[in-house]
Amino acid sequence: MTGPLDAAIPEDELVAARRLRRTIQRTLRRSLHVRHLDAGSCNGCDWEIAALLNPYHDVQRLGIDFVASPRHADLLLVTGIMTRNLEEAARRTYEAMPEPRLVVAVGACAISGGVFAGTYAGRDGISEVLPVDVFVPGCPPRPEALIHALLVAVGRMAPFGSRSDSRAGNDASTAKSRDRLT
């Protein structure tokens, strides 16, 4: 899968891209379906997520598709502080997703509330409302960090057809080892 744009991409990024594509295919036997949820962000993280679809990053070539319905999603990509008005909608979105499901917190606001921590209108991060599997720090995080986070998240899923297709990390022994990207 090489083309004119691949010549401009550093070799280490191409290797990571190939690894992500293989991991997704081995784990899901199809594309990874991502639902983005803006829970009260400044849109900085949203712009970086949108950059994943541009010709340079082109995550669709890796087998990653963004979907409009949580019923079709494997992974929930959440940005923002989780405003109190969006808590119920976020829970319903998460509950509408089929098992196994993953949650990735994108940006400082989603992780800890960022500069808005402690305000009356929002939570100090989305982990107060949803079970988060991967944290991606940054304000905003770079698209390469988001791609790496997707790789880590997919790695937490049980491979397709294994005895347990439920999300890794549901028991108490592994709940403490949630991934934080630095």
* Start-end of H helices in 30-171: 44-51, 87-96, 108-112, 143-155
- Tell me if 180 is assigned to some domain: no
- Tell me if 134 is assigned to some domain: yes
| pLDDT of amino acid 6 | 55
- Tell me if 95 is assigned to some domain: yes
Domain containing 143: what range?
10-157
User: How many domains would you assign to the chain?
Assistant: 1
- Tell me if 120 is assigned to some domain: yes
Name the residue among 113, 89, 91 with its Cα closest to residue 101.
Answer: 91
Q: Along the chain (182 residues), what's the average pLDDT of each consecutive run of 10 residues?
A: 57 76 81 93 94 90 92 95 94 95 96 92 93 95 92 79 48 41 52
- Please state, in angstroms and rounded to a whole number, the distance separating the CA atoms of residues 110 and 123: 9
Read off the CATH number of the domain in which 131 is found.
Answer: 3.40.50.12280
- Tell me if 78 is assigned to some domain: yes
- Tell me if 115 is assigned to some domain: yes
- Tell me if 4 is assigned to some domain: no
- Please state, in angstroms and rounded to a whole number, the distance separating the CA atoms of residues 5 and 8: 6
- Tell me if 137 is assigned to some domain: yes
| pLDDT of amino acid 10 | 74
* Start-end of H helices in 65-163: 87-96, 108-112, 143-155
